[in-house]
């Protein structure tokens, strides 16, 4: 009996881990990316490729693989020192480091001004860019804000890459030909499938520059804005006195209508501000039974029911959904990819825009998660997930494969085109996202207003 007990204990503490390791190894082997040969694009020698998020993980591995193929790689990194250390590691790993061209330039995708400076520096030094790989990604365990008050998940995964791509288009156009088109490659995710964004949600998220709000908050905000807009025609027009007091000038005895004697644009803005504020204030008082003193207080009331003390600046930690936020941002990125591909086809531009998913890869994407979560999941990630080098093989294929020269607006997994979220097929939603992100960029005083 004692012998059987010892054998059972041995199997439990030794046999079970060995069996689990063997199963994990078999699973990883069955899920490795395709490694068959493919036809490379001609004349890749010294072709300039920009890779974002290149100092670690998939980006770093992609830089290594592209440099091996003779490309001149620009590492766009938020942390320049980390980028330089990564470059040294890559050069030391290459057989002939003196023959490769790798450089590091700062680019923080959460800072739209940093993106503009990056593009200015790159376009001044290099007039032709063969490929742009939007690899950098972000997922936040708790809601955080950039210095501009925006959600970094939305900026790093969607708004930043969208702006970077648009600003790099002149360099991409100059490098492309119909025989060897320039390429934009977005690193996306199958998590886009779980996103349930519709037109209302997209409008509210983009207005508040965040990647996630609970559905009830979105509906409350949309309802408030709808009722306020419907009340415009019933609100009294502001007077000269109202307009003057708004700009800090006291004119108590002047009740003439504001518009005749004022600049048209300013008077319209003032009338809109006042009518919207009064209508929204009435809605807040009716819905919550609390008197408010202005537009900001009214907006806080509308959001308070579901958002708590943080108001419209964010969602409380207890209601934040990091997976949904990441999925939403990736769906928006896929929509932008579809819109750009459509534009390139209509213009006959020598550029393609596609998205790829490298699968489940063991990177530091989840670095914002608590240390305990990362430590406990580390063995599972090592056993079942792909390595950064394996994940980067699909990026390298998307940049260098001859067969993708005419592919546009596709989503690839393991070298095969796969389906996208149904919302990314809706041309109305795709066009709306393109319009909204441009408005956001213009509001940040980065992208010039195309209308003049």
Query: Can you tell me the distance from the alpha carbon of 159 to that of 152, in angstroms, rounded to the nearest whole number?
Result: 9
* Widest distance between CA atoms in the chain: 104
pLDDT band at 448 (very low <50, low <70, confident <90, very high): very low
Q: Which residue has the higher pLDDT, 406 or 312?
A: 406
pLDDT band at 203 (very low <50, low <70, confident <90, very high): confident
Q: Phi first, then psi: give them for residue 386, nearest 5 degrees.
A: -70, 155
pLDDT band at 199 (very low <50, low <70, confident <90, very high): confident
Average confidence (pLDDT) over 216-230 = 71
50 has a pLDDT exceeding 90: yes
Average confidence (pLDDT) over 75-86 = 95
DSSP string, 321-376: -HHHHHHHHHHHHHHHHHHHHHHHHHHT-SEEEEEEE--SB-SSTTTTS-HHHHHH
pLDDT digits (tens, 9 = 90+) for 356-394: 999 888 777 666 566 666 666 666 666 767 888 898 999
Q: How far apart are the first and last CA of the chain?
A: 89
Q: Which residue has the higher pLDDT, 278 or 97?
A: 97
Query: Tell me, what's the pLDDT at 215?
Result: 80
Most confident of 96-110, 288-302, 326-340: 326-340
Domain ranges in the chain are 48-200+321-443, 214-313
Quote the CATH superfamily of domain 48-200+321-443: NAD(P)-binding Rossmann-like Domain (3.40.50.720)
425 has a pLDDT exceeding 50: yes
Which is nearest to 358 in space by CA: 31, 3, 13? 31
Average confidence (pLDDT) over 32-50 = 76
Report DSSP state, residue 401.
Answer: B
């Amino acid at each position: 009996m004692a012998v059987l007990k010892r054998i059972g204990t041995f199997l439990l503490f030794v046999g079970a881990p060995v069996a689990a390791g063997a199963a994990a190894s078999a699973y990883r082997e069955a899920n490795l990316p395709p490694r068959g040969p493919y036809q490379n694009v001609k004349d890749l020698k010294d072709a300039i490729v920009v890779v974002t998020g290149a100092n670690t993980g998939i980006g770093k591995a992609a830089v290594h693989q592209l440099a091996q193929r003779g490309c001149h790689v620009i590492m766009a990194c938020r942390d320049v020192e980390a980028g330089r250390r990564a470059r040294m590691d890559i050069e030391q790993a290459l057989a002939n480091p003196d023959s490769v061209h790798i450089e590091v330039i700062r680019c923080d995708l959460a800072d739209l001004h940093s993106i503009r400076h990056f593009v200015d520096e790159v376009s001044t030094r290099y007039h032709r860019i063969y490929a742009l790989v939007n690899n950098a990604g972000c997922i936040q365990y708790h809601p955080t804000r950039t210095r501009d008050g925006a959600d970094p998940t939305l900026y790093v995964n969607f708004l930043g890459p969208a702006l970077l791509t648009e600003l790099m288009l002149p360099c991409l156009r100059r490098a492309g030909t119909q025989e060897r088109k320039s390429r934009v490659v977005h690193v996306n995710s199958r998590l886009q499938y779980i996103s349930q964004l519709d037109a209302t949600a997209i409008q509210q998220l983009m207005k508040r520059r965040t990647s996630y709000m609970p559905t009830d908050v979105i509906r409350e905000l949309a309802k408030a804005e709808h009722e306020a807009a419907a009340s415009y025609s019933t609100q009294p027009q502001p007077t000269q006195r109202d307009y003057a007091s708004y700009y800090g000038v006291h004119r108590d005895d002047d009740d003439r209508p504001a518009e005749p004697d004022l600049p048209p644009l300013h008077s319209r803005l003032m009338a809109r501000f006042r009518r919207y504020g009064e209508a929204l204030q009435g809605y807040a008082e009716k819905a919550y039974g609390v008197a408010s003193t202005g537009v900001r207080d009214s907006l806080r009331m509308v959001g308070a029911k579901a958002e708590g003390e943080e108001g419209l600046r964010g969602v409380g930690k207890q209601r934040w959904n990091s997976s949904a936020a990441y999925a939403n941002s990736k769906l928006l990125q896929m929509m932008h990819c579809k819109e750009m591909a459509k534009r390139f086809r209509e213009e006959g531009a020598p550029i393609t825009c596609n998205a790829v998913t490298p699968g489940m890869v063991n990177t530091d994407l989840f670095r914002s998660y608590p240390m305990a979560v990362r430590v406990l999941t580390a063995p599972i990630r090592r056993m079942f997930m792909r390595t950064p080098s394996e994940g980067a093989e699909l990026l390298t294929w998307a940049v260098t494969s001859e067969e993708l020269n005419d592919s546009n607006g596709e989503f690839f997994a393991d070298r095969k085109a796969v389906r996208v979220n149904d919302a990314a097929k809706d041309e109305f939603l795709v066009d709306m996202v393109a319009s909204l992100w441009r408005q956001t960029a213009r509001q940040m005083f980065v992208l010039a207003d195309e209308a003049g």
